[in-house]
Each structure stands twice: as structure tokens, then as C-alpha cells.
Amino acid sequence: MELHKIEDVDFSINEIIGTEDDINLIWKEGELYLSLRNLVLKDKKRLYDVPLRELENVQVISENPTKLKFQLPSVEVIVSGKYAERLLALRHFLMPLIQPKREELMKESCNTLIKFWHLGVRSPVALATIMPLTAEEVRRLISSAKENELIDLKGRLTDKGYERFSPEERNLLKRLEVING
């Protein structure tokens, strides 16, 4: 595995427990590398692999000093380096790898949204607890579904909305519509 050094960094690896109050004050000095499949963080004792295929997001969380947060399903990695342009270039390099995942998540979430909307679940807060989105993202998804004529104002799926599903799913949704009246 060939590694390309990006920057000398300070980094923190935090397990996500589910609360926003997670605090991890343990910062390590090390180096950040990029390979074909991983970001690699190296401190004096060991290597830490961050698989690129599992990245969910890369955010700039501080501009001075520049800090990037790499979001994975159950871990977040925060890095801070001396040369902001190197970290920002890495973020721009990685964003196309993440964007298709987000677009796929939004398509799946839209299908989930219109199913629940069709069944009468209309609260963005309730939908956000079912879906991997925030209430604000659900609100935007509802607006988008209406604008794209996937659901009508009465909560029914339109023909265009039904087309998003397999024939089996369409039949089930139509039967549920009859049951729910």
C-alpha cells in the first residue's frame, strides 16, 4: 500500500455514542496520509486506518486553525494542521466520493418519506426519528416531493410517486390506502 503524506497534524478519534455532548480531549500529534483506499493517521506508536468507502461527510469545523472532521458511521476523526490549503484540498478531493452516497441516501429517504406520508405520518420530527435525517432535512424532502409531484396536498401518492416503486410495493401501498381510507 503506497501512502502519500498530506500533512503533519494533530488529531482526535472519537467514538460516536449518540449524544451531542460527547467530549474527547485526547489529541495526538502525528501525520496524515492518503492511500487508494484509506486515510491513514500515524502517531508515534501506531497507524489508524480510515476507510474512504465509509466516509459519510468531511466538514471544515474551524478555519483558524483549520480543522476538518471526517464523519464515519460510528466514529469521527478531527484533524488540525499547519497548512490549511493542504487540508482543504484533501476535503475537495474527497467530496466526490461522498456525494453519490448522500444522493443515494436522499433517494431512499424520499421513498421512505412518501410511503409514511401516504400512510398518514406527516410530522417532520416523527419522520426524522424513523429516517437517518434531521427534521429540517425531512422538511426539505417534503417540499421537494410536493414540487416534484410525488405526493399531492392531501397526502396521496401521485402516479409519478407510484412509479418510484416496484409493482409489489405499489400493490401494497394501494391496499394500505384502501385500509386507511
Confidence of residue 131 (pLDDT cuts 50, 70, 90): confident
Q: According to the model, what pLDDT value does residue 86 have? A: 92
**Closest Cα to residue 110, out of 151, 70, 77?**
151
Report the distance separating Cα 63 and Cα 56, nearest Å. Answer: 21
Q: According to the model, what pLDDT value does residue 69 have? A: 92
Q: According to the model, what pLDDT value does residue 72 have? A: 87
Note the CATH number of domain 4-82: 2.30.29.30
Q: According to the model, what pLDDT value does residue 25 have? A: 63
Cis before residue 65, ω within 30 degrees of 0? yes
Helix, strand and coil in the chain, % to nearest 5: 40, 30, 30
Would you state the cell numbers that stand for residue 99, as one nine-digit string? 456525494
According to DSSP, the residues that pair with 7 across neighbouring strands are 32
Give me the chain's average pLDDT, please.
84
Q: According to the model, what pLDDT value does residue 102 have? A: 65
Confidence of residue 121 (pLDDT cuts 50, 70, 90): confident
Report the distance separating Cα 57 and Cα 54, nearest Å. Answer: 9
Confidence of residue 48 (pLDDT cuts 50, 70, 90): very high
- How many Cα atoms within 13 Å fall on the side-chain side of residue 174? 12
What is the pTM assigned to this prediction? 0.56
**Average pLDDT score over residue span 130-143:** 84
Q: Contact 117/104 with Cβ under 8 angstroms?
A: no
According to DSSP, the residues that pair with 68 across neighbouring strands are 60, 79
**Average pLDDT score over residue span 39-59:** 90
Evaluate if residue 100 carries a pLDDT over 70: no
Q: Is the dihedral of CA 165, 168, 174, 175 positive or negative?
A: negative
**Average pLDDT score over residue span 29-38:** 93
